[in-house]
Chain A
Amino acid sequence: MPSIVNYLWLIPALPLLAAGMIALLKQRHRSLSASLSIGSLAISLGLSIAAFVPTLGPIEGGGGVKRWVHNLDWFEFGNTTLRLGWVLDPLTAAMLVMVTFVGLLIFIYSVGYMAHDENAARFFCFLSLFAAAMLGILISNSLLLLFMSWELVGLASYLLIGFWYHKPSAAAAAKKAFITTRIGDMGFLLGLLWLYGETGTLLFYDNGNGCLEQSALNRLNTLTTAGGMGVATAISLLLFCGAAGKSGQVPLHVWLPDAMEGPTPVSALIHAATMVAAGVFLIARVFPLMDVDPANVAGSSTALSVVTWVGAVTAVFAALIAVGQNDIKRILAYSTVSQLGYMMLGLGAGGVAVGMFHLLTHAFFKALLFLGAGSVIHGCHEEQDIRRMGGLRRQMPTTFLTYAIGMMALSGVPLLFSGFWSKDEILHAASVWPVSRLPFYLGLFGAVLTAFYMTRQMFFVFFGKQHLGKEAHESPTVMTIPLVILAIAAVLVGFWGTPAWPWLHAYLTGHELHLDLSALAKSATLMLISTAVVALGMISAWRLYTRKTPSSPQALDPLEAAQPAVFGVLKNRAYIDEFYEATVIRLNHLLSVTSDVLDRFLWNGLVQLVSLMAIALASVGKALDQFVINLGFDGWCGGLKQGARGFARLQNGQVQSYLRVIGLSLVALVVVLLWERRR
């Protein structure tokens, strides 16, 4: 076991420490807080690479995946010991490197982006907290630790999205993100508890006793619950609820576009590399559990089917909406939702390696796109509407070039760009999915749309006439350098997983790796199809928007002119928010009004009744006190006092009154004596 495993906890602990230290700093220590968070994340990156290296190498003793765990007792209650732990395996290592690398670039970029914000120190504090929580998710070997980090991620994202909390829309978006993900997390928590109840452990891997290992899975496989559904399937679906909430799958995707209210680096961090990836990562992590199926056919368990369908639907649905959007960040947000759908589709249909490949490539090029969008917004003086931009390629050449690379990677331009390879993997997996062919066609349609809306965005932003009133300017170096690095990565990362040399696949699943150019030929048909699809999307967009580029920001979109009804639906995000407004929120409102009425009249009445009874009892007691006990005591005390006063009056210090008493006593004595004698 490599020694780095014992120190794996340092990777999330360092950013957490940085966050704590920054929280104690004053707001004006801008550069100190920035260097603290960047420095800690850089060390984490170094540690991640150090953890990554041992997972490479050839596998000793044949098949299986390299995996080291380090478990420890957290606390005991009764006979049960709650155990936490961390794990180092290829999945963790690859994600660690990706998250720390992209995160570091985003941190550096933030220095430039937040240079004029007076709360930059707070921003870096939240960023570090977010990074710590995300890294915690990655290394955790316990569903419980993962859940805790998961919730920390939710908290940090809430803080970051609502960073400009003085904007009402930002505050509302933060709340929306938090509450929507909470709905999914409720399923996650239930699944977690159920899993614990069935297996008695939450550790993933524990020398054969973990809940993801064969003995537990076999046991789960035999159990069924209501409606003949397997327990494993039910738990998997509950966990998928959490993943869907975090990863913005339909129908819980609504928070993600709104989350664009946060600063752009936050959007990049949350939507590209980390938070949305957390859901995909969760599915990849518990993949053995998802895969449990009595029929034991690969990729066809009920849970994975659900994942596949949800992913496919999300991919197309979000891509459709993205076509109708005008906000540069919103387009990217819906694009992210769509790509997350692709990842889910890949996970469900093709397994961990397929989904993760797209996750990793997407992290790079989507971070690149977001940072590029941030650069554009920064350069255009906080303008976000693409109709008001245009012709920016001359003013912002670096941004333009890197953005174009990102756009092509996302659209899946063949051979050179990473998005092509990973999307191709997914489409390939979907095409051979034994359950249905429909997700494959949905995926193809999504690819057309992806190419279309990205080309549309490019035309609006960088080509055509300039509509911006003010002069746009290129962003500072500290912002463009991360763009360049990410652009290079966005190109190169794709070669990890070409069909000819599926290194990532081998790495993640532990298979033998060999260069096989014939595989390339085998999938040539599919590659041609996807190339054609991408070309279709791009060319149609090009034709549409170069010929009829809107002359002014107020002009109708060409699509809108052609199909106003369809475009209107898309523009308004398919009325999902309105739908929720009309159903869920109204229901919620109705419920709350009902509760309010119940509270106000029924419960309040009951409570008041009880309190009135208590008051009545108390007044009886008070009366008792006042008129019986108090009077009794008062009478008693008064009697004592008066008696004492009387006796004290006898003792008045006047000698003559004493003498009088003596005289009277003498008389009394004589009378008594005479009386005695008389008898």
Chain B
Amino acid sequence: MTPLHYYLIFAALLFSVGLAGALMRRNAILVLIGIELMLNAANLNFIAFWRYSPTANELVGLMFVLFSIGIAAAEAAVGLAIIISIYRHHRSTQLQHVDRLKG
């Protein structure tokens, strides 16, 4: 059976990939994708810990993930709507063009 920390390392790597993408790419959509990946890595952690916890029958981690997926869906919808709105405004989805709110 696969040890727990394999999953954790897998989740960490996935998180890092998402983070790298979010940090490196200029396109807002890709940044959003990176964030989704990070969220999924977190979900994976929940599932992995749930699976290996002594009280797995309480389904706590599972519930967390279900709600997280719901929140993620909402987040994706709103985020993409914002990207479309920005695109209309700037004719661009490049993040470096969107700095109107700087101090």
Contacts and interface: CB of A to CB of B under 8 A. Distances in A.
Touch between A and B in complex, CB under 8 Å? yes
Interface in B73-103: 95-96, 98-103
B19 interface: yes
Nearest to B34: A659
Nearest to B28: A655
B102 A656 contact: no
Nearest to B99: A653
Contacts of A660: 23
A648 interface: yes
Nearest to A655: B95
Nearest to B20: A663
Interface in A69-117: none
A659 B99 contact: no
B98 A655 contact: yes
Given A655-B31, A655-B98, A648 B103 contact: yes
Interface in B7-48: 19, 22-23, 26, 31
A207 interface: no
Contact of B100 (A647, A648, A653, A663): A653
Contacts of B26: 656
Contacts of B101: 653
B31 A656 contact: yes
B98 A653 contact: yes
Sorting the interface of chain B by its residue count into under 10, 10 to 19, 20 to 34 or 35 or more gives 10 to 19
B32 to A, nearest CB: 11
A654 B19 contact: no
The A interface, classified by DSSP as helix, strand, loop or mixed, is helix
Contacts of B102: 648, 651-654
A654 B23 contact: no
Nearest to A663: B19
A647 B102 CA distance: 11
Nearest to A662: B19
B38 to A, nearest CB: 10
A275 B26 CA distance: 107
B103 A651 contact: yes
A654 B23 CA distance: 11
A656 B99 contact: no
Contacts of A663: 19, 23
Contacts of A648: 102-103
A654 B95 contact: yes
B95 A656 contact: yes
Given A653-B101, A653-B102, A659 B96 contact: no
B100 to A, nearest CB: 7
A651 B23 CA distance: 16
A656 B103 contact: no
A654 B31 contact: no
Contact of A654 (B22, B96, B103): B96
16 contacts: A647-B103, A648-B102, A648-B103, A651-B103, A653-B99, A653-B101, A653-B102, A654-B95, A654-B99, A654-B102, A655-B98, A656-B31, A659-B19, A660-B23, A663-B19, A663-B23
